[in-house]
């Protein structure tokens, strides 16, 4: 990997992604195979004035061994010291960078119940930490770099080295990093463009969205009073502007918890818990999934929906033009960070409290009263197509075409 490009990418993540401030702690979650990029992030972080940099390494091969061999009861527990690590750094105002780069088929031979129990244990233990991030109490950013297993899944006909090289090229293109350009300036322009879109949507204050396409999607999503469309950049409780996802092409808001009705058909596979769920359909009634089916991974879809009460309700509705750069690449990335930015998508589970007026300061009970869903999971799945139509209805009854043929109409 070109060292100069790696440094540019790291600078983008530190300066725009988490927008690290002087004397702010930095925490990096990373696969052990991504050391070069982690080192580049650490160097850039200290140069930006980081108080300290902590790295939380993960080893997916070891994780696979553990899921195969450890006692079943072990997955119902979450280490107290690990919870303390997250809670302590979050309380001290740390910025969090997560490198999402796992093998899409990692846990295909693991009992889904073990994976679900581990997710439930982690979700309960880390509820406060995750709530802080989803309420923007801390700055955070999700990024990706290639790993051999992931690259091979995306480019199965290439050698390992060629697959990694090609995936690097796609990632750098998606995050606007090149040898000649200024990625930080490019991102400021891109963020401004996304914020024009959110301004349009917020000005209309739609009460409902109606999705239809040729796959069979016919879904109506009510939006609660006071909902907010967001996209591009966000602001932390301390007033720091940051970009939570690199790349991002989406604008998003939250649905009314009990206001989703109809059928939605996924347009891309969902990578969940080291498994793929593909060819799936969900039917909603009064907000809840009441019927589901999948051509592949239906047992994993069931486990997801049964994680807790809120997992079968929606927490996000996001709009992405079909002609977005990632979509135009024609590549299925088997990685939600990229695939969700190639397609309109929804998310099962927890909603972002920042997507409703004053939501970041509300209790869970108050959020629920305002129609905001709560869960220990938040899983995006893709529904966008080239023929997708999205019509917004205003409280007055007026209808406005938001998307036609998969792209914005305004």
Which domains, ranges and CATH numbers included, belong to the chain?
Answer: 3-174 (3.40.1830.10), 204-228+249-408 (no CATH)
- Residue 44 predicted with pLDDT over 90: yes
Whole-number pLDDT of residue 389: 98
Its pTM stands at 0.94
Does residue 61 surpass a pLDDT of 90?
yes
pLDDT mean across residues, the chain: 96
Predicted pLDDT of residue 287: 98
N-to-C CA span, the chain:
40
Q: What pLDDT score does 82 carry?
A: 96
State the average pLDDT over residues 138-144: 98
Burial 165-204 (b: 16+ CB within 10 A, else e): ebbbebbbebbbbeeeeebeebbeebbeebbebbeebbeb
* Rg of the chain over all Cα atoms, to the nearest angstrom: 20
Helix or strand run (H / E) with residue 149? helix 148-154
Residue 101 pLDDT: 95
> Which residues fall within 8 angstroms of residue 103, CB to CB, at 6 or more apart?
60, 147, 149, 150, 153, 274
**368 and 313 Cβ atoms separated by less than 8 Å:** no
**Does 274 score more than 90 pLDDT?**
no
């Amino acid at each position: 990997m070109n060292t100069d490009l790696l440094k540019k990418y790291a600078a983008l993540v530190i300066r725009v992604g988490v927008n690290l401030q002087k004397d702010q702690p930095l925490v990096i979650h990373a696969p052990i195979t991504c050391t070069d990029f982690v080192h580049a992030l650490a160097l850039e972080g200290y140069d930006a004035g980081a108080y300290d940099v902590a790295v939380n390494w993960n080893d997916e091969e070891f994780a696979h061994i553990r899921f195969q061999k450890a006692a079943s009861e072990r997955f119902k527990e979450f280490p107290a010291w690990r919870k303390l690590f997250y809670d302590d750094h979050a309380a001290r105002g740390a910025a969090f960078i997560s490198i999402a780069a796992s093998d899409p088929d990692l846990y295909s031979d693991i009992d889904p119940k073990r994976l679900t129990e581990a997710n439930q244990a982690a979700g309960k233990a880390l509820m406060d930490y995750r709530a802080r991030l989803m309420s923007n109490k801390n700055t955070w950013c999700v990024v990706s770099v290639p790993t051999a297993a992931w690259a091979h899944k995306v480019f199965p006909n290439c050698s390992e080295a060629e697959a990694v090289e090609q995936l690097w090229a796609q990632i750098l293109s998606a995050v606007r990093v090149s040898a000649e350009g200024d990625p930080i300036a490019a991102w400021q322009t891109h963020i401004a463009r996304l914020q024009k879109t959110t301004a349009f949507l917020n000005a209309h204050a739609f009460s409902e969205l109606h999705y239809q396409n040729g796959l069979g999607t016919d879904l109506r999503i009510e939006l609660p009073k006071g909902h907010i469309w967001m996209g591009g950049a966000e602001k932390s409780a301390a007033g720091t502007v940051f970009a939570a996802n690199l790349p991002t092409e989406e604008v998003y808001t939250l649905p009314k918890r009990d206001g989703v009705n109809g059928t939605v058909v996924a347009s891309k596979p969902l990578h969940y818990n080291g498994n793929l769920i593909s060819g799936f359909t969900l039917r909603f009634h009064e907000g809840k999934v009441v019927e589901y089916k999948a051509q592949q991974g239906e047992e994993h879809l069931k486990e997801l929906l049964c994680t807790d009460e809120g997992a079968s309700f929606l927490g996000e509705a996001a709009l992405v033009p079909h002609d977005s750069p990632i979509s135009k690449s024609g590549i299925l990335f088997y990685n939600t960070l990229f695939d969700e930015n190639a397609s309109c998508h929804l998310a099962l589970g927890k909603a972002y409290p920042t997507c409703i007026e004053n939501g970041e300061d509300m209790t869970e009970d108050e959020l629920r009263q305002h129609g905001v869903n709560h869960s220990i999971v938040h899983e995006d799945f893709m529904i966008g197509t080239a023929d997708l139509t999205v019509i917004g209805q205003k409280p007055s009854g007026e209808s406005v075409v938001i998307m036609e043929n998969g792209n914005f109409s305004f």
